[in-house]
Amino acid sequence: MARHSVSCSYLMMTRENILAVYEKGPDAVVELVELLFAQIDEQQEMIDALTLRVNELEDQLAKNSRNSSKPPSSDGFANKPKPKSLRAKGANKPGGQKGHPGSTLSFVENPDRIISHAPKGCEGCGMLGGGGEMVLGCERRQVVDVPPLALEVTEHRARRERCMGCGRINTSRFPAEASLAGVSYGPRIKALGVYLMGYQLLPYERTRELLLDLFGSPAPGVGTLHSNVKSCFAGLEGFEEWIKERLSEAEVAHFDETGLRVGASGAWVHVSSTRDLTHYALHAKRGSEATQEIGILPTFGGVAVHDGWSAYRAYDECQHALCNAHHLRELTFVEEEQKQEWAGRMKELLKEIEDEVRKEAASGGVGLSSEKLREFEGRYEGMVRAGLKANPPPERTGKRGRPKQSKGKNLVDRLEKQRGWVLRFMKDFGVPFDNNQAERDVRMVKVRQKISGGFRTNEGAEAFLRIRSYISTVRKQGENVLAALEGVLVGKPFIPHAAE
């Protein structure tokens, strides 16, 4: 800064001062010119740095949920982007399609209650009913409703009996749901509380209020609900190990991570999933330290679908496929904000390949023809070259470290160097186009955070995530979540044998 001030003083010299330097001779003039050029160079560096910073800030402001990985909730109201799905418009109109069977309530043969209604009197002559009318038939209507809700109290009595042979007094054993002395809640009401908090994402207090409104007193309180969650968490320890083993053996698995507020500091939720299985894990770190401790990726040998995060790329024992939904959003940004034509053409190419794969798979095909593959790969190569031309490497400034690249440059470098991962879905129909499976699985964790604002302790977060892993897997298997949670609380958790 001192040099900058001195240089500025030279730049602001008056005519008289310049002539005075001139009269001092050539050395003084050369010194003045050198300082002037140094000042110009310094100002140019400052202008370049400020220009780069302005561009970065403008790019940041231009990002939204349509052209980046930002969630829709971050768009705000003032600059809400117009809805514009990346999906191609289908041929069918919205709503139910022609020939759709639909569903409606049907009469049941044996209703729980029958109530007969007789006319109050004759609508013709006004005579009041006297009991001697002729019954000609009836019109039926049925109403489906919830019966009045109330907790049912079952008393278990363990009899003591004296053996007639030896005289010993024997006492019968209580069932599992009555294992505690005195009065306790049964597995169904416990499962309902865990269901409301783990699946419907209600906080403890609102769950207590709902149960109180439904059943009245004595509905479970917050302390009882917390104990039920702890019991369910402990009962699913074996299930969690089972699910991790199955995910490690999967042919294709999806991986993602998201931030979670826990206590005074943040943490990361790591999700590993397939169409049939889901596992969530909590860790303080986002990177490879977390994936190593979780233990699924280190032993995974299938195709890992992810967003390109470095912690996933480090594993060489498995194959990789990148999420092209991320690429479509990034290409939209480069096309619209940086005005690069190649990005729009690359976006259309990726969607065209996806449509071609979908059509071929729907017709029973297992792969695209060699001609189609060559055509798509050639067009892909041409667009990558156009992208590299539009995004040359940044000039080195002499400063230490690698110069920062633009968003467009980072994107085209990824598309070039990892083209096999980008286009894996084109050659292997078992690999999806995107990583939407993991993103859908992790979304409910973010919804839970929005509702309740995070978790107070790691123990609470870990309990929620283990139970949520179980609920998500049960739902994917088409099973009843309430019944499955009740099974956990009686020591018989559901194991999805169909996924083995």
Measured CA to CA, the distance from residue 67 to residue 59 in angstroms comes to 11
Measured CA to CA, the distance from residue 280 to residue 267 in angstroms comes to 13
C-alpha 43: how far from chain center: 46
Q: Phi/psi class of residue 295: alpha, beta or left (left: φ > 0; alpha: ψ in -120 to 50)?
A: left
How many other C-beta atoms are found inside a 10 Å radius of the C-beta of residue 230?
13
The pLDDT value recorded for residue 76 is 60
Measured CA to CA, the distance from residue 110 to residue 115 in angstroms comes to 13
Helix (H) or strand (E) holding 109: none
How many other C-beta atoms are found inside a 10 Å radius of the C-beta of residue 225?
22
The pLDDT value recorded for residue 154 is 93
Structure-token match 């699946």, residue found? 199
Tell me, letter by letter, the H, E, C secondary structure of 246-305: HHHCCCEEEEEEEEEEECCEEEEEEEEECCCCEEEEEECCCCHHHHHHHCCHHHCCCEEE
How many other C-beta atoms are found inside a 10 Å radius of the C-beta of residue 335?
19
Of the candidates 278, 284, 266, the one whose C-alpha atom is nearest the C-alpha of residue 466 is 278
Measured CA to CA, the distance from residue 425 to residue 321 in angstroms comes to 7
The two structure tokens encoding residue 205: 């207090």
pLDDT digit string (tens) for the chain, length 500 residues: 344 444 445 556 678 877 887 788 888 888 878 888 888 877 877 887 787 777 777 666 666 666 666 566 566 655 555 555 556 566 677 767 777 777 788 999 999 999 998 888 787 787 766 555 678 888 999 999 988 888 889 999 999 999 999 999 999 999 888 888 889 999 999 999 999 999 999 999 999 999 999 998 888 999 999 999 999 999 999 999 999 999 999 999 999 999 999 988 889 999 999 999 999 999 999 999 999 999 999 999 999 999 999 999 999 999 999 999 999 999 999 999 889 999 999 999 999 999 999 999 999 999 999 999 999 999 999 999 999 999 998 877 666 777 788 889 999 999 999 999 999 999 999 999 999 999 999 999 999 998 888 899 999 999 999 999 999 999 999 999 999 999 999 999 998 764 44
Measured CA to CA, the distance from residue 275 to residue 277 in angstroms comes to 6
Regarding pTM above 0.75, the answer is yes
The pLDDT value recorded for residue 129 is 62
Residues ≥6 apart with Cβ < 8 Å to 296 = 244, 247, 248, 253, 272, 279
Structure-token match 């790691």, residue found? 458
DSSP bridge partners of 259: 268
Tens of pLDDT, residue by residue over 190-240, are 999 999 999 999 999 999 999 999 998 888 999 999 999 999 999 999 999
The answer to whether 297 and 312 have CB atoms below 8 angstroms apart is yes
Start-to-end C-alpha separation, the chain: 68
The pLDDT value recorded for residue 7 is 45
Of the candidates 202, 224, 241, 221, the one whose C-alpha atom is nearest the C-alpha of residue 447 is 202
Positions of E strands within 69-198 = 160-162, 169-171
